[in-house]
Structure formats: C-alpha cells, structure tokens
Amino acid sequence: MTFSPVPDKPALEGLESKWDGTWSAAGTYRFDRENAERSRVFSIDTPPPTASGSLHIGHVFSYTHTDVMARFQRMRGKDVFYPLGWDDNGLPTERRVQNYYGVRCDPTLPYDPDFVPPFSGGEGKSVKAADQKPISRRNFIELCETLTIEDEKQFEDLYRRIGLSVDWNHSYRTISDESLRTSQLAFLRNLHRGEAYQALAPTLWDVTFRTAVAQAELEDKEQPGAYHRLSFHRPDGGTIEIETTRPELLPACVALVAHPDDERYREYVGTTVTSPVFGVEVPVLAHHLAQKDKGAGIAMVCTFGDLTDVIWWRELDLPNRTIIGTDGRVLPEAPSAITSEQGIAAYAELAGKTVFSAKKQVVELLTASGDLIGEPKPITHPVKFFEKGDRPLEIVSTRQWYISNGAKDPALSEALLERGAELNWHPDFMRVRYDNWVGGLSGDWLISRQRFFGVPFPLWYPVSADGETDFDSPIVPSEDQLPVDPSSDPAPGYDESQRGVPGGFVGELDVMDTWATSSLTPQLAGGWERDPKLWALTAPFSLRPQGQDIIRTWLFSTVLRSQLEDGRSPWSDAAISGFIVDPDRKKMSKSKGNVVTPADILERHGSDAVRYWAASSRLGTDAAFDPQNPTQMKIGRRLAIKILNASKFILGFEAAPDARVTEALDISMLATLRRIVADATDALEAYDHARALETTETFFWTFCDDYLELVKERAYSGDTAAQSSAVAALRHALDVLLRLFAPVVPFATEEVWSWWHEGSVHTASWPTPEELDAVASGEPATLVATSQALTRIRRAKTDAKVSQKTGVRRAVITAPAAELAALRSVEADLRAVGRIAEIHFTEGEELAVSDIVVDNEEATA
RNA sequence: GGGCCUGUAGCUCAGUUGGUUAGAGCGCCACGUUUACACCGUGGAUGUCGGGGGUUCGAGUCCCUCCGGGCCCA
C-alpha cells in the first residue's frame, strides 16, 4: 500500500487542477445508476446557468451551497444524482448569436443544410438589423448550439475549479433536440388535458421586442408623465372634465367610470357623453376600482391604457376600439365608432404615428378645439415595463397560447398551495413568497412569444379552400414525431407544397416562453419519457436549490408543470440562497456595474477559501462581498492552510499499530469531538451548512491551539502507552475532522486524505457519534478545564513579558472540586505545555492559576 | 398601500423553548521567531443589542409602536 508522500511544505496552489483531474478520471461523482436504489437516491434539480451570460461571483455562491449538501449526502451513503444543465434558450443567447454571426432568425424560411454564416466573431459591435442575414429557425438554433458550446466550456471550467461534485455525464442543454422534444411533449399533454388553450385577448406587449410578455416578467418603473385635463360634452351642453396621462388614447375611449360612492358624478352615471375632437358617444359608468382621489376622480376607459382598463373593459362589457398596433404605432384604420367628418380627419393625422407623436398631436387638436383645460400637470407614476425592455408596455389584442395556472381555477390554485405546503423550504419563511404569488395571480400563464428563437409550438393550422386560416382547429403531431419545427416540417397528413396555400396548412410561428422549458428541468435532467428507469430513480427530486428572486418564475412554474403532469410536487426540499450584495448592500448586477468576476478571485484566494466564504452564509441570507477586503476568503484560506499544516504535523508522529486511547485528556478531546459530529450532522440535516461549518471550525482551532499544544510533548515522548494514546487520539480526530470539513474544503481535505488513506475522502463515510463511542467515553469538561488552565498559564507568561517556552518553577492551580479532579488527571500534560516543574492543586471557588514563579524572573498572576 | 426579511463591538455575523456577567472571527493594541504553520503563535481592550412603551421574578429573545435598510407584490 503506498500513499502520496507528505510534502515538506504543503501548499494550496495547484490542488484544484490536480484533484479535479483525479476525480474525473476516477469517476468519483458518477451517478451509479446500475447500483442505485430509489430509497437511497438524493437527486438535485440544479439551476441551469445562462451560458451566454457573464460569469459573476454569485455563480459560485449558491452553487457552493448546493455542492456542500451534495457532498454531505454522498458521504452519508446516498446515491447522489447531481447533473448540471445549460440554459441556452432565451433572449441573451439570441442576441449574442445575431451579433456574433451577423444573422437573424426568420422562421418563414426553409432550412439550409449547407448554410455558412456571413461572419464569425462579430463580438461586441452589433451588426445593423438591416444587414443581418435572415436564416431559418433550424439554422439559427444550430448556430446557437455551436456558439454556446464555447460559453458552456468556460462555465464548466469555473465549476470544476470551485470543485462542484457534479456528474458531468448528465448535462443537458435547453436548446437540444431532446429538450425541444420534452418541452413539446409536455405542452401536447397540457393541450390534450385542456390545460393549454389559445385566446384572443388583451395582451401586455413589448413594442421593442414585438412580443407578448407574461405577468412574471413585469417590472414597475417610475416614469415622468403629465395629467391632461380635458372635457367631455354632455347632451345638455355642459361638460365633464377628466384627467388622463394618455390623451393619445382618446380615440380608443369606450367609457368614463366613477366610483359608485362618488357623489360628484352619481347623477351622470347611466347617461352618455361625447368625446372631444373625435365625437364618439360613450357611457358614464360606475365601478369600485375608480379612485375618487386620483386625477379628477372620474377616469376615461380606453382599449387599452393599462390593466385597469382591461378589467373595466371585461367587467363592464365594453367594446374594443384598439388603436395601437404591435409595432407601437397608431393603426391606419380608425375604430368604426368614429364617424364624424372631424373625427375621421383627426384620426387620419394620428395614423402611423408613434405613441409619443400621437400624444403631441392629440394635445394640439384638443388645444385647438378648446377642450384641453389649463396646462398639463407633470407627475411621476409607476408604468409597466418588460423587465428586459426599455419602452413602456402597450396592451394590444392578439391571439396567444396560455397554460392554466390556477388564476381562474380555484381547485388548481388550492392544489398548488398544497404542493407548496408539502415542500420543505429552507429557510421556511420563503414559503410565504410562493403562497403570495399563487394567491395573487390575476391571469393564466401566457406562454407564446412572438420571438423566433426558442422552442416552437408543435402546431399547424389548416387553411380553408377560400384561404382563411382556421386557428380553432390546430393540427398536432403524434408524440413519436417530436420534436417538430412547424415552420420547416409539413403538418402531418400534408405535403410541404401545401404550406400557405388554400386547402393546405400554415405552421405556428410563435415559440414558447423560456420558462415553459425551464419549468421542466427535473424532466430534462431525469429523463422523463426518454429514460423511464432513470426517471423512476430520480423523480420526484430531493432538492431544488435556487435564488430567492425567481421563486415566482422558476420555482412556481416547475411546481405547476409537475402538478399538471404528475399531481405531485417536483421535489421534497427547496433551498433558497440569498444573493451577493456590495459593501453598500446593493444587489450585484450588471446594470449597476458592481459585478465581480470570479476568475481572479479564485486565482488569488484559492477555491477552498472562496467556498468557505460561500458556505459561511446561511441559506436565504444575502452576503456582503467587498472585493477590496475579502475577509471571509482570507479566513477560509487560513483554515485550509491550517488543515494542511496540522495534518502534516500529526502524521509525522510515530504511531504504534496497536495504540489505544488511554489518557484522560485524549478521551475528553474525543468526547468533545463526538458532540461536534452530532451537532454538525444535525445542522446539515437541517440545511444549515453555516452552522455545521462554524461548529467544526471552532472545535478545530481549539484542537490545534490547545489540545495539540498540550499533547505535543507527550506525542514526542518515545515508546510509551501515553505516547501511543496521544498519537492514536490525534489520528482519530484528524480522520473525523477531515471528513467533517470535506464538503466545504474539498481540495485541502482530499490532499491530506491522500497522504494516509486509499480512495477519496469524498466517498468516505460521514462521521457518526457512534464510531467514536469506543474511544470517547470521557467528559468534554476535562478539555474545557484544561484549556482554561492553559490560557491562565499563558496569560501569566504574557504579563511577565516572557516567551511561552520560558520555564516555570512552580504554579498553584485553584479550582472547584470537580474541575480540580479533572485537572489533576492531566497534570503531566499541563506541566509539559507550560514547562512547569511543580504544580500545586488547591480547592477554591473559581479556576485560577497563581503564584507562578518563572525561571530567572519573578511574576505573579 | 400590502407582504416578507433585516437592524447586536469599528467591520462581517452567531445568539436555540425568555434564564448567570451578550459571543466569534476580522480589524486594533501589547507580547512572543516554542522541534506543523510568519499565509504563525499568545494575551488584551472593545456594546444605550435601532428608539420608545408593554408583558414577566427576569427581555437581545415575546407583544405594541415609531425610525432606518433590503427584496417582492400592488
């Protein structure tokens, strides 16, 4: 049996690449599906990082939390299924591919198998949209796959470097054919069960990206605006004045609403008024959502100015007079309600204008007609934006696909709340955010996006003989035909030549929301409907780790899909990490420019140190990180170095093969460690890795500073039972400590393990209190009392300003009876560590060391 | 406006069902080159537990209220 020799100068440098290579070659973290048993499987539904996004320090933070748990469970004998996927399906990838290759996706084009992109590496500078070469969706996806492979390599390097114990054989990519198939299959199942449906409805619309946006992607932004006061005309010649921030929607006005309790307007409810300039007669109605104290207290309802307009339109059964198109400009055709010559002429001036210009124009028209009262009053108010967009959302009427999410189905909503209640949340209070989200949903999940890149809906529509597309009778493929691209593949039962012709078919051009794919990560990783044996082993998963910011999106949508498909929660536990904040407690984000990239941090401090920093933060708690002053990483680095040095020292003592732990101090130290093992295990079982680490670390420093110093002399003292006891206890403790530290400090512990053990510490068994029973029958109190006595001896020497190795002729130790007995039992060790010739013990109330006589000098304490 | 989190030493944070004199690390000060470790060791000082009120024999901890910070939702 040969082990790696203990180096003269152990160092952290180089451990990362050395051990990553060894672990890869040995398959240390491989999921052994042949021997795995469902009852022993610990499966992790890891967040797939956006590979085309930029790396930042937050990436190592939460992933380390997960890895600590994976390593703990693996050492406990679990069959750990720990895959990592890549999310390369979404806007960031799309934009990057457009710029890099100078192309854009046009799903109406056919696939070109011999396509070569016009550029390669057009990084940074974007090619003007007009100059981008249009290519088919399939070609576009192929380019995405090519480019993201490079990005994924970088991420994988990072994650290997920080020592994630991922099984890299189980990676997946959200744009792979397999992911497309899974997404489409899950959608077809939703469709067949009636959970997916299409509807023509007012839709939140981003005019820049020209796509519909879901509730989960909304963001309120404070925007400047202005209340314009304008008068509607009553039949009796009087006026009602309203205030609006969006006068440009006046031609889309369908009613005025006031609160039913508002006495100012009560007499007008039920009457009609005529809109200024456009001359359209609209009813005055009452609704409780009208705010008496907002503006004039009576509002103009337009189709559609905001979400309240949508509610009024729906609940008050109003007509649709949409005037804004999907390009954000005023539609060419005036609503049919505008019939007056003046109104038609006014509308003609607006047609084709942007919202901004239309507003100016309407204000001019109102001023000319005398219906604008006073000057517009500037205000700031919250306006809805797409979280990735920079222009306010419009609301337009379009045909969209939805998946029911409980917003309109109390039974489903109830089931989703039950799933949330069954989940073990770490920390528990995160559950409330889920409950609030489920309870606050106001509409079903809009999953169609008018983008080009993404998972296409597996749908076609028949075209009638007279050329009309029949959206109500979608043509669906069979499950075994998946994946399909309806813009390249003909509809089942049709020939490609029938595309877009009367009596033929058209393909659905929309793609799915990326969350529609991301909500299926357990299915993607676990081989749902692809590898039934793997799925049976892994699902439902044990753990979903993720950030607190995406509970409403990723966590919720994954629960939803699992509920719809399997009627169960996708996991048993959810671990929610906080995020990284800068020293001013600002969230780290690209837009704030305070992002710290991990490469040089890892280079400077080493992976174990960075992991220590991450593992010191509890789940759900934000961690402050100051790159100028990375205190926690320095401490982590010091710990890792200490592990190497202390281990080298301990392993340097001669060990008798039959050594037994006999000395009181040794037994007490191991009894303390026994308690540490129990506490650390409890903490990890409760997902409190920070506490487990702190517990272990505190013991380790006491172990080094006090115990090791106390037994040093004895361990050198030649071939005696006492010497053997010290060495046996040291080795026993080291063995346990390395295993306790292994999840957090995998490199240094593995290095030390290799000096005296075969195999990996990461597949060794997690320590148990029971394994220490035979050697730890004593009382932890002995070590505590001895440490206290040692501190007092040291203090006396420090007060005397002499070296700690200075000899002492005599000292008196006073202590209560119980402690005194303990201290007498370790007298030899105390004398050795303090170089004390003679110790006198006396009983007293408090532990004290006094009457110390230092060699050649006198000092008392 | 609503929900959740949070405020403890100069800094970063522990503090369990309420229970002696509120802790750790860093930083700071002093000392020390001891047969692993100067990427070191030893020792020391450091508090209006955000403010106010209440419950209690007893409150950092429970309740009310106010103030500050953060996240999410309106």
Question: How far, in Å, CA of A849 to CA of A635, rounded?
Answer: 32
Residues A110, A177, single domain; the answer is: yes
Residues A240, A309, single domain; the answer is: yes
Asked if residue A214 is part of any domain, the answer here is no
If DSSP states are collapsed to H, E and C, what string results for A511-535? EECHHHHHCCHHHHHHCCCCCHHHH
Question: How far, in Å, CA of A617 to CA of A72, rounded?
Answer: 17
Q: In this structure, is the CB of residue A586 within 7 Å of any atom belonging to strand B? A: yes
Asked if residue A152 is part of any domain, the answer here is yes
Residue with tokens 């100051």: A626
Are A49 and A721 in contact, with CB atoms under 8 Å apart?
A: no
Strands (E), A561-655: 571-577, 580-581, 623-624
Of the three residues A370, A388, A406, the one that is the final residue of a domain is A388
Of the three residues A459, A482, A514, the one that is the final residue of a domain is A514
Residues A63, A132, single domain; the answer is: yes
At position A675, the amino acid (one-letter code) is R
Residues A147, A245, single domain; the answer is: no
Nearest CA to A558 out of A576, A67, A568, A441 is that of A568
Q: Is A12 exposed, middle or buried (0-12, 13-18, 19+ CB in 10 A)?
A: buried
Residues A297, A375, single domain; the answer is: yes
Q: In this structure, is the CB of residue A631 within 7 Å of any atom belonging to strand B? A: yes
State yes or no: pLDDT of A125 exceeds 70. no
State yes or no: pLDDT of A460 exceeds 70. yes
Q: pLDDT value at position A664?
A: 93
Rg (CA), chain A: 36
Q: Which domain CATH number covers A837?
A: 3.30.2320
State yes or no: pLDDT of A857 exceeds 50. no
Residues A405, A311, single domain; the answer is: no
State yes or no: pLDDT of A573 exceeds 70. yes
Q: Which domain CATH number covers A361?
A: 3.90.740.10
Q: In this structure, is the CB of residue A679 within 7 Å of any atom belonging to strand B? A: no
Q: Annotated binding site for ATP: which residue ranges of A?
A: 590
Q: pLDDT value at position A83?
A: 96
Residues A131, A262, single domain; the answer is: no
Nucleotides of B under 7 A from a protein CB: 2-5, 11-15, 24-26, 30-37, 39-44, 69-74
Residue A121 to residues A117, A130, A443, A462, Cα–Cα distance (Å): 10, 18, 42, 41
Asked if residue A509 is part of any domain, the answer here is yes
Strand pairing report for A253-258 and A298-302: antiparallel
Asked if residue A684 is part of any domain, the answer here is no
Residues A49, A104, single domain; the answer is: yes
Instruction: Give the nucleotide with minimal C1' distance to the Cα of A215.
Output: B73
Give the domain extent around A316: 223-388
| Residue A228, H or E segment | strand A218-233
CA A695 to C1' B22, in angstroms, rounded, equals 19
Looking at residues A350-372, what average pLDDT do you find? 92
CA A397 to C1' B2, in angstroms, rounded, equals 31
Q: In this structure, is the CB of residue A798 within 7 Å of any atom belonging to strand B? A: yes
Highest mean pLDDT of the ranges A31-35, A506-510, A590-594: A31-35
Name residues 537-556 of chain A with a Cβ under 7 Å from nucleic strand B: 548-549, 552
Instruction: Give the nucleotide with minimal C1' distance to the Cα of A640.
Output: B39
Of the three residues A489, A514, A539, the one that is the final residue of a domain is A514
Tally of domains in chain A: 4
Instruction: Give the nucleotide with minimal C1' distance to the Cα of A11.
Output: B39
User: Which comes out higher in pLDDT, residue A288 or A133?
Assistant: A133
CA A432 to C1' B5, in angstroms, rounded, equals 11
Give A207's contacts (C-beta < 8 A, 6+ positions apart). Answer: A326, A327, A328, A391, A393, A394
CA A510 to C1' B68, in angstroms, rounded, equals 48
Q: pLDDT value at position A209?
A: 79
Q: pLDDT value at position A488?
A: 87
pLDDT, tens only, A7-49: 888 999 999 999 999 999 999 999 999 999 999 999 999 999 8
CA A683 to C1' B55, in angstroms, rounded, equals 33
Give A481's contacts (C-beta < 8 A, 6+ positions apart). Answer: A492
Give A58's contacts (C-beta < 8 A, 6+ positions apart). Answer: A579, A580, A588
Q: How confident is the model at residue A1 (pLDDT cuts 50, 70, 90)?
A: very low
Looking at residues A434-448, what average pLDDT do you find? 89
User: Which comes out higher in pLDDT, residue A841 or A627?
Assistant: A841
Choose the weakest-confidence range: A189-203, A209-223, A309-323, A708-722. Answer: A209-223
Residue at the smallest CA–C1' distance to nucleotide B36:
A649
Q: In this structure, is the CB of residue A487 within 7 Å of any atom belonging to strand B? A: no
Are A542 and A76 in contact, with CB atoms under 8 Å apart?
A: no
Question: How far, in Å, CA of A742 to CA of A740, rounded?
Answer: 6
CA A621 to C1' B6, in angstroms, rounded, equals 10
Residues A180, A199, single domain; the answer is: no
Q: Which domain CATH number covers A135?
A: 3.40.50.620
Q: pLDDT value at position A126?
A: 55
- Which residues make beta-bridge pairs with A835? none
Name residues 106-165 of chain A with a Cβ under 7 Å from nucleic strand B: none
Residues A50, A161, single domain; the answer is: yes
Are A643 and A749 in contact, with CB atoms under 8 Å apart?
A: yes
Q: In this structure, is the CB of residue A618 within 7 Å of any atom belonging to strand B? A: yes
Name residues 334-393 of chain A with a Cβ under 7 Å from nucleic strand B: 382
As a 3-state breakdown, chain A gives helix, strand, coil percent values, each rounded to 5, of 45, 20, 40
- Give me A520's structure tokens: 């299926």
Asked if residue A656 is part of any domain, the answer here is no
Question: How far, in Å, CA of A636 to CA of A189, rounded?
Answer: 50
Residue with tokens 């049709």: A494
Looking at residues A662-685, what average pLDDT do you find? 94
H-assigned helices in A169-318? 177-192, 263-266, 307-315
Q: In this structure, is the CB of residue A682 within 7 Å of any atom belonging to strand B? A: no
- Give me A321's structure tokens: 């007079």
Asked if residue A35 is part of any domain, the answer here is yes
Asked if residue A526 is part of any domain, the answer here is yes
Asked if residue A802 is part of any domain, the answer here is yes
Residues A479, A380, single domain; the answer is: no
Residues A495, A414, single domain; the answer is: yes
CA A227 to C1' B65, in angstroms, rounded, equals 38
Name residues 683-702 of chain A with a Cβ under 7 Å from nucleic strand B: 691, 694, 698, 701
DSSP three-state, residue A424: strand
| Angle formed at CA A744 by CA A738 and CA A750, multiple of 5 degrees | 45
Question: How far, in Å, CA of A136 to CA of A811, rounded?
Answer: 89
Q: In this structure, is the CB of residue A40 within 7 Å of any atom belonging to strand B? A: no
